[in-house]
Amino acid sequence: MRIGHGFDAHRLCEGDHIIIGGVRIPHTHGMLAHSDGDVLIHAICDALLGAIAGGDIGRLFPDTDPALAGVDSTLLLERVMQEVVARAYRVGNLDATVIAQAPRMQPHIEAMRERISGLLGVRVDEVNVKATTTEKMGYTGRGEGISAHAVVLLMPSDG
Ligand code: MG
């Protein structure tokens, strides 16, 4: 078995929605990013890459690549999963935390779990997504940005 951890953060900017865990959420701001700014999917990509010692998302998908401008981050996750499968691993389970002062994540958590489990090729009960605020402390607490952590366990695909 192999374990991996990922972290990501993006700054909020002008806009009317954010995308977290592949789910579009209406908000008073948008995400400033080269891609769609999906911090949760980015953290999951890095957790998977960490588990296979595959570097990180920035190395695989440079933010200087014009082809990746505004890209749907779930496409990046699909490519990372191809790397996982190519190394003869499958996902055992995933646990993740989104850190945001606003908007409320709770109404969207189940949709995120559904979306992520489909992308990882696991059951919904093998994916957990939590959300917390930081009690108005720090950059997430001041509403300057949103961050996410993810931990993933990989199993041999024949195990
Ligand atoms: Mg990112």
What separation in Å is there between the alpha carbon of 159 and the centre of ligand 1? 32
For the chain, domain boundaries: 2-156
Phi, psi angle pair for 28, to nearest 5°: -75, -10
pLDDT of 110:
98
What separation in Å is there between the alpha carbon of 36 and the centre of ligand 1? 9
pLDDT of 95:
98
- What CATH homologous superfamily does 2-156 map to? 2-C-methyl-D-erythritol 2,4-cyclodiphosphate synthase (3.30.1330.50)
55-to-5, 6, 51, 61 alpha-carbon distances in Å: 12, 11, 9, 11
Residue 137 CB contacts under 8 Å (≥ 6 apart), including other chains: none
Ligand 1 is a single-atom ion; what residues have CB below 5 A from it? 8, 42
- HEC sequence for the chain: CEEEEEEEEEEEEECCEEEECCEEEECCEEEECCCCCCHHHHHHHHHHHHHCCCCCHHHHCCCCCHHHCCCCHHHHHHHHHHHHHHCCEEEEEEEEEEECCCCCCHHHHHHHHHHHHHHHCCCHHHEEEEEECCCCCHHHHCCCEEEEEEEEEEEECCC
What separation in Å is there between the alpha carbon of 39 and the centre of ligand 1? 5
Stretches where the chain sits below pLDDT 70 are: none
pLDDT of 63:
87
How far apart are the C-alpha atoms of 107 and 134, rounded to whole Å?
19
What separation in Å is there between the alpha carbon of 42 and the centre of ligand 1? 5
pLDDT of 119:
98
How far apart are the C-alpha atoms of 150 and 46, rounded to whole Å?
8
Q: For tokens 């001041």, what's the residue?
A: 142
pLDDT of 154:
98
